[in-house]
Amino acid sequence: MLEGSILQQLQTAHHHSTRPIRFGVYYKNTLVSLCHSLEDHILTEDSTAIVITAFQRGKWYLQEAERYADIAKRSHQIAIMAAPDARFVEHPTSQLPNVEVVALEPADPVAQEWHLIILSPKYTAMVICQELSEADYGSGGLPASDMERKFYGLWTFEPELVQETALLAIAHIERYNPELAKKLMTYKQEIQPSFATPEHLGKVVSRVVDYLQTGQVNIHVPTATTQQALDTNLVSNEIQAFLRMAQIIDAADLTNPMAAAEVMALSETIGQLLDLPAWQIKRLRLAGLLHRIDPLQRAESVMPSGSSTHYQEDAPSCPLTCPLIPGAQVLRTMPRLRAVAQIITHQTEWWDGTGEPAGLAGDEIPLESRILALAADFQWRVNQKKTSLLNHKEILAQALFESKQQQSRQFDPKLVDTLALLVMGLQQGLDLPLNEPKVSASIWLLDNNLDSETKTGVSINYNLRTI
């Protein structure tokens, strides 16, 4: 990273923190899609947003200048940083009263960065990246086409991280325009960003995925290898959108902020005890991480009662064969996540057939849905009791007793027996590994060749007394 750049300052600040930042590599077309989708949320919502951007060079700003004239109508203040080019400052958008252009010195490290920082009362988001150097590209050298340019960084909705980055950007602007920096600080202090609601996040995430998918259509790429690399980057970022949405929903629930990671760990362990194949456990992990995404909880299913769901165990990437309504769920916009969407949809079915949405009974309910339902219910029960006077073993025993009361009614009786074995191990000191994936490397969830133990980040052992 370039010394003195905003990205480098952010990385340094979190280098030894309990929440180190995990960066990823993005192609330019991916960043354009991400930025447009995040900007569109300003255009479609009444907002008093502060928008801070860095465009590298003025010519890139000029390509977006008309768009930023519309954004300015719904924003409190816009600050645009870029190395100056011809007509950079003279463009009509730059003359608007709430738009300020900061002409960076060519040697300024921020002139090599691409930033979009949005602070509003309803929602925060940012894309913050730095273009790879010639040395970073390796033996292949600099890319021949603009589309193949790569950037190192991250994007997120996290309010604290967005606010922290905004402060770094304002401090950098102060070197050039102290008056603008003071104005931005005043506006920032007037805004108290909070976690976006699931409804807002659902709209943003759907828009991100739409842009990422439509941005790939009719794009000419020089080689099949390049096309494959772009497609891989696209899929990874689509999954990132959903995972970030799930993380925000969890973080906003102060009573149960680790539900997704803990349900993932429980589901995975139950799957291992049942000796399920690796591909099925991988789907369980992703379903566990995403099981609380609000739009999915009210999704409609067209699986008729009495239909039988089969698994093609010899095909790791095959979806469930039950029918789906295209677009009925936010996850279904991605074909490779439709099986996961179906798992989550049918987690509310009951073993006796009285559940929703399709009234399935017994083995008609997808196995992963049955596992997910039991794991989520058990995690919730344990979490509800953590403030009680019960000790660790008593909490587990009480939660298991309550789950057993629903055996053969709500839950698969054999799965409840499997959960009892797991609880016995937990009471005797078994720890479950809480492997939260690197969101920037979320492609592990779909690629069977990746080792999830070594590719997905830090492994944190936890005992169920903490849930």
The answer, yes or no, to whether residue 140 has pLDDT greater than 60, is yes
| Residues 31 and 163 placed together within one structural domain of the fold | yes
Among the listed ranges 5-19, 336-350, 353-367, 425-439, which one has the minimum average pLDDT value?
Answer: 425-439
Q: What per-residue confidence (pLDDT) applies to 229?
A: 58
Looking at the structure of the chain, the number of domains it has is 2
More confident residue, 451 or 243: 243
Spatial neighbors of 182 by CB under 8 A, at least 6 apart, are 174
| Residues 402 and 440 placed together within one structural domain of the fold | yes
The answer, yes or no, to whether residue 375 has pLDDT greater than 70, is yes
Q: Hey, what are 201's tokens? A: 């996040």
Q: Hey, what are 387's tokens? A: 């403030």
Q: Is residue 454 part of a domain?
A: yes
Q: Is residue 361 part of a domain?
A: yes
Grade residue 232 by pLDDT with cuts at 50, 70 and 90: low
Listed residues 207, 225, 243: the one ending a domain:
225
Q: Hey, what are 458's tokens? A: 């830090």
Grade residue 37 by pLDDT with cuts at 50, 70 and 90: confident
Most trustworthy range by pLDDT among 155-164, 222-231, 299-308, 347-356 = 347-356
Residues linked to residue 114 through DSSP beta bridges, in sequence order: 129
More confident residue, 242 or 42: 42
Residue with tokens 């930033």: 115
More confident residue, 182 or 292: 182
Q: What per-residue confidence (pLDDT) applies to 458?
A: 27
Among the listed ranges 41-50, 311-320, 379-388, 422-431, which one has the minimum average pLDDT value?
Answer: 311-320
More confident residue, 439 or 7: 7
| Residues 158 and 279 placed together within one structural domain of the fold | no
Give the chain's end-to-end CA distance (angstroms, integer).
Answer: 38
Among the listed ranges 267-276, 383-392, 405-414, which one has the minimum average pLDDT value?
Answer: 383-392
Kindly state the greatest CA–CA separation across the chain. Answer: 73
Q: How far apart are CA 54 and CA 129, in angstroms?
A: 10
The answer, yes or no, to whether residue 96 has pLDDT greater than 70, is yes
- Stretch 202-206: mean pLDDT: 70
Q: Is residue 231 part of a domain?
A: no
Amino acid of residue 367: L
CATH of the domain at 177: 3.30.870
| Residues 210 and 266 placed together within one structural domain of the fold | no
| Residues 187 and 329 placed together within one structural domain of the fold | no
The answer, yes or no, to whether residue 307 has pLDDT greater than 50, is no
| Residues 79 and 156 placed together within one structural domain of the fold | yes
The answer, yes or no, to whether residue 59 has pLDDT greater than 60, is yes
Mean pLDDT of the chain: 77
Q: What per-residue confidence (pLDDT) applies to 381?
A: 94
What DSSP element (H or E) covers 224? helix 224-252
| Residues 55 and 193 placed together within one structural domain of the fold | yes
Q: Is residue 230 part of a domain?
A: no
More confident residue, 18 or 347: 347
Sign of CA dihedral 285, 290, 292, 297: negative
Grade residue 46 by pLDDT with cuts at 50, 70 and 90: low
- Stretch 133-147: mean pLDDT: 75
pLDDT tens profile 235-249: 566 666 677 667 767
Share of the chain residues as helix, strand and coil, in percent rounded to the nearest 5: 50, 10, 35
Q: Return the percentage of the chain with pLDDT > 70, whole number.
A: 72
Q: What per-residue confidence (pLDDT) applies to 156?
A: 83
Q: What per-residue confidence (pLDDT) applies to 437?
A: 53
Q: Is residue 243 part of a domain?
A: no
Q: Is residue 239 part of a domain?
A: no
Q: What per-residue confidence (pLDDT) applies to 235?
A: 59
| Residues 40 and 178 placed together within one structural domain of the fold | yes
pLDDT tens profile 321-364: 444 433 334 565 566 677 888 888 889 999 999 998 889 999 99
Q: What per-residue confidence (pLDDT) applies to 40?
A: 86
Q: What is the pTM of this model?
A: 0.66
- Stretch 301-314: mean pLDDT: 39
The answer, yes or no, to whether residue 300 has pLDDT greater than 70, is no
- What does the DSSP 8-state code read for residue 435? -
Q: Hey, what are 357's tokens? A: 């949405």
Nearest to 102 by CA among 205, 5, 172: 172
Q: Is residue 235 part of a domain?
A: no
| Residues 403 and 457 placed together within one structural domain of the fold | yes
Q: Return the percentage of the chain with pLDDT > 90, whole number.
A: 35
- Stretch 33-55: mean pLDDT: 84
Q: Is residue 233 part of a domain?
A: no
Q: What per-residue confidence (pLDDT) applies to 345?
A: 84
Residue 440: domain span: 253-466
CATH of the domain at 385: 1.10.3210
| Residues 171 and 309 placed together within one structural domain of the fold | no
What DSSP element (H or E) covers 62? helix 58-73
Residue 121 Cα to chain centre, angstroms: 21
Q: What per-residue confidence (pLDDT) applies to 294?
A: 52
- In the three-class reduction of DSSP (H, G, I as helix; E, B as strand; rest coil), residue 192 is classed as coil
| Residues 385 and 272 placed together within one structural domain of the fold | yes
Q: What per-residue confidence (pLDDT) applies to 379?
A: 95
- In the three-class reduction of DSSP (H, G, I as helix; E, B as strand; rest coil), residue 248 is classed as helix
Nearest to 238 by CA among 40, 438, 443: 443
| Residues 208 and 297 placed together within one structural domain of the fold | no
